[in-house]
Chain A
Amino acid sequence: MHVLDIVVIGIYFALIAYIGYRTGRGNRGMEDFFLAKRAMPWYVIGLSVMATQASAITLIGTTGQAYVDGMRFIQLYFGLPLAMVILCVTLVPFFYRARVFTAYEFLEKRFDGKTRSLTSFLFLLGRGLSDAVVIYAPSVILAIVFGLDEKTLILTIGAGATVYTALGGMRAVMWVEAWQMMIIFLGILFCLGAVIAGLPEDISLVEALKIAGAAGRTETVDFTLDPSVTYTFWSGVVGGIFLMLSYFGCDQSQVQRYLTGSSLTESRLSLLFNAMLKIPMQFVILLTGALLFVFYQFEKPPPIFNPVSLERLRESDHRDELASLEREYDEVFAARKARASGFALALSTEAEPEARRRFLDADARFSEVRGRVVALAEENEGARFNDTNYVFPTFVLSQLPPGVVGLILVAIFAAAMSTVESELTSLSSATVIDFYRRYLRREASDSHYLAVSRAATVAWGAFATLCAMYMGRLGSAIEAVNRIGSNFYGPILGVFVLAVGTKRTNGHGAFVGVLAGVAAVQLASRLSDVSFLYYNLIGTAASVGVGYVVSLAFPSPERSV
Chain B
Amino acid sequence: MGEETDSPPPILGTWRRFYFVVVVNTLLVYGLLLLFSRFAR
Q: Which residues of A does B touch, CB under 8 Å?
A: 35, 37-39, 74, 78, 81-82, 84-85, 88-89, 93, 96-97, 99, 209-210, 212-214, 218-221, 233, 261-265, 268-269, 272, 275-276, 279-280, 283
Q: Is the CB of B37 within 8 A of A221?
A: yes
Chosen A-B contacts, 14 in total, with CB atoms closer than 8 Å, are A39-B1, A78-B30, A85-B23, A97-B4, A209-B40, A210-B40, A212-B40, A220-B36, A221-B33, A221-B34, A233-B30, A262-B1, A263-B3, A276-B25
CB distance from A545 to the nearest CB of B (A): 28
Residue from the list B5, B22, B29 in contact with A265, Cβ < 8 A: B5
Given contacts A82-B23, A218-B41, A276-B25, contact A265 B7 (CB under 8 A): yes
The digit string for B9-29, where 1 denotes a CB below 8 A from any CB of A, is 100000100110011011001
Complex Cα–Cα for A502 and B26 (A): 29
Nearest B residue to A287, CB-CB: B36
Given contacts A38-B2, A85-B23, A210-B40, contact A272 B18 (CB under 8 A): yes
* B25, B29, B36, B40 interface centre (most CB from chain A within 10 Å): B40
Q: Which residues of B does A touch, CB under 8 Å?
A: 1-9, 15, 18-19, 22-23, 25-26, 29-30, 33-34, 36-37, 39-41
Which residues of B lie under 8 Å from residue A84 when comparing CB positions?
Answer: 22
Q: Is the CB of B41 within 8 A of A74?
A: no
Q: Is the CB of B4 within 8 A of A89?
A: no
Q: Is the CB of A88 within 8 A of B19?
A: yes
CB distance from B8 to the nearest CB of A (A): 7
Which residues of A lie under 8 Å from residue B30 when comparing CB positions?
Answer: 78, 221, 233
Q: Please count the residue pairs between chain A and chain B whose beta carbons lie under 8 angstroms apart in the complex.
A: 83
* A88, A97, A221, A261 interface centre (most CB from chain B within 10 Å): A221
Which residues of A lie under 8 Å from residue B6 when comparing CB positions?
Answer: 93, 263-265, 268
Which residues of B lie under 8 Å from residue A210 when comparing CB positions?
Answer: 40
CB distance from B37 to the nearest CB of A (A): 5
Complex Cα–Cα for A31 and B18 (A): 30
Which residues of A lie under 8 Å from residue B40 when comparing CB positions?
Answer: 209-210, 212-213, 218
Which residues of B lie under 8 Å from residue A233 when comparing CB positions?
Answer: 30
Complex Cα–Cα for A268 and B6 (A): 9
Complex Cα–Cα for A221 and B31 (A): 9
Nearest B residue to A213, CB-CB: B40
CB distance from B35 to the nearest CB of A (A): 9
CB distance from B5 to the nearest CB of A (A): 4
CB distance from B11 to the nearest CB of A (A): 11
Residue from the list A85, A219, A265 in contact with B19, Cβ < 8 A: A85
Residue from the list A74, A213, A221, A275 in contact with B26, Cβ < 8 A: A275
CB distance from A223 to the nearest CB of B (A): 9
Q: Is the CB of A268 within 8 A of B15?
A: yes
Q: Is the CB of B23 within 8 A of A218?
A: no
Q: Is the CB of A263 within 8 A of B4?
A: yes
